[in-house]
Amino acid sequence: MNKIRIGLFYGRGTVSMNEEQFVQELEKRGISLNERQIAQFRRYYELLVEWNEKMNLTAITDREQVYLKHFYDSVSAAFQAPFDGPLTVCDVGAGAGFPSIPLKICFPELQVTIIDSLNKRITFLDELGKELGLDHVRFVHARAEEAGRNPDFREAFDVVTARAVARLSVLAELCLPLVKEGGRFISMKAAAAGEEMREAEYAVKLLGGRLKESHSFLLPVEDSERNIFVIEKVARTPKKYPRKPGTPGKLPLVKQ
């Protein structure tokens, strides 16, 4: 995969992106934010920092780094795969809401479900959704393995996202059971992701997926590598997957 550079440099040694630069860079990618959306991102940052004093949501709290490494990085998923229209999106292990909440702000018609195993994070996300005035969002306290066996969630979503949650061979088992046939699993990774994809090929195929696209690029300003894999769901996931909570991480589905 060739690495492409997204965005501009804003000065040597400065790893940051202010609000104006954030808006401008999204505009260049065809994503135009109105005043309400800009205000939602602003309030998102304020709440993130406020709640981070009570619980560990992120190690990144500087405003301009949050705009670059969390907000812009999250929305980069839409540079590679369409998020237009009332798609149903499930975000597995979203933590503080990345990437699904920034995507929801940019594309208000999305219907977003976040599944996270830590109830404290769900409490934050619930408050965040109310403060930002987001509709068609729900926050579910559950393990991904449990959600994947729940008839309300199993093979119910157009798009399932995960951002740096686990190795791709593990993520495939956590996420693909949630994707409907014809839908997409979008995995967002940092560096050395090509090796992860090769390792995960067996699990992806076994669980009904097929790699459709892969994109490698450099985050603007700091030049750190990012990788996005778009995996399409081409067949139903066998009923025995996902396995019980904890098993995918301990015994990943890899070719022996």
Q: From the annotation, which residues make up the binding site for S-adenosyl-L-methionine?
A: 93, 98, 144-145, 163
**Backbone phi, psi, residue 87, to 5°:** -70, 145
Peptide bond into 238 cis (omega under 30): no
With vertex at residue 184, the alpha carbon angle to CA 178 and CA 236, rounded to the nearest 5 degrees, is 50
Tokens of 184: 């997409």
Cα–Cα distance, 186 to 55 (Å, whole number): 28
Reduced to 3 states, what is the DSSP secondary structure of residue 208? coil
Letter string b/e over residues 175-186, b meaning 16 or more CB atoms within 10 A of that residue's CB: bbbbbbeebbbb
Instruction: Report the distance separating Cα 201 and Cα 176, nearest Å.
Output: 13
Q: Report the binding-site residues.
A: 93, 98, 144-145, 163
CA dist., res. 227 & res. 98, Å (int): 15
Q: What is the distance between the alpha carbons of residues 109 and 187, in angstroms, rounded to a whole number?
A: 21
Contact 232, 182 (CB under 8 A): yes
Place of tokens 């559950």: 142
Helices within 150-192 (DSSP H only): 168-175
- Give the span between the Cα atoms of 43 and 66, in whole angstroms: 12
